[in-house]
Amino acid sequence: MIKLIVFDLDDTLYDCTGSILYQGFDKAKKAMLDAGLDPKFIPLITELNKTMGFSDVIKIMKKKIPERILKIGYNAIKNMEISGLKPFPDVIPTLKKIGIMKVLMSKGTASLQRKKIEILGLEDFFDDVFIVDQINTGEEKKDALNKILKKFNLKPENIMVVGDKIKNEIKDANQLGMVTVQMVHGKYSKVKPETEDEKPDYKIKKISDVLEILEKENR
């Protein structure tokens, strides 16, 4: 019985890839080059960014690139202009129809993610919001999922997690024993599972399909 749904934000509830993702990465690269980054690192950073967020890129590259330069790139993304964001057309109607608890979970700079949520007009549709600010706290999405389990006093099988990244929220939720749904959209949509933990229980191309999955799981 599903009693709570956790929704990822970027490329799950709105088109992050098509609106701001590459713009932010381009700004980060330019800012780091201007700060003295050796251009030889750009191909590696670009390749890593194809399958992970910039905070994960920083985590991997901090032994090769001065922390000062990485923070400049991170701040370029944090301070980028993000006005005009809109949720996918079916998101708000779907959230209104879901009759169980809903939690919004997102990974990134807390101030930027909060700003996105405000612009998208989503916060009032959720019972709680968890921001995973990896750079400042060292946390991962699995830490947030464990907090959700504890706060709502639920078993893993009572929670469904909907997100676009199989190597992030899908993998973490599977390892905890939750029901997983991959939103197949954006730059991570073509990433192939390398382990059983990265295989979602369901795949969807529009968020309204969650309603049918929820009905199936709760029969």
pLDDT of 160 reads: 98
Is the pLDDT score of 67 beyond 80? Answer: yes
- Residue 5: the pLDDT is 98
Q: What is the pLDDT of residue 181?
A: 98
High-pLDDT (> 70) share of the chain, %: 100
- Binned at pLDDT 50, 70 and 90, residue 32 comes out as very high
Q: Enumerate domains of the chain plus CATH numbers.
A: 4-16+85-217 (3.40.50.1000), 18-78 (no CATH)
pLDDT, tens digit (0-9, with 9 covering 90-100), for 97-148: 999 999 999 998 898 999 999 999 999 999 999 999 887 788 999 999 999 9
**Which pLDDT belongs to residue 72?**
94
Mean pLDDT over residues 173-191, rounded? 96
Sheet holding 202-204, edge to edge: 128-132, 101-107, 4-8, 159-163, 179-183, 202-204
Own/partner long-range contacts of 19-24 (Cβ < 8 Å, ≥24 apart): 19/82, 19/84, 19/85, 20/80, 20/82, 20/85, 21/186, 21/187, 23/80, 24/54, 24/76, 24/77, 24/80
> Which of the four pLDDT bands, split at 50, 70 and 90, describes residue 54?
confident
Mean pLDDT score across all residues of the chain: 94
Quick one: how far is CA 108 from the chain centroid? 8
Give the pLDDT mean for 145-159.
98
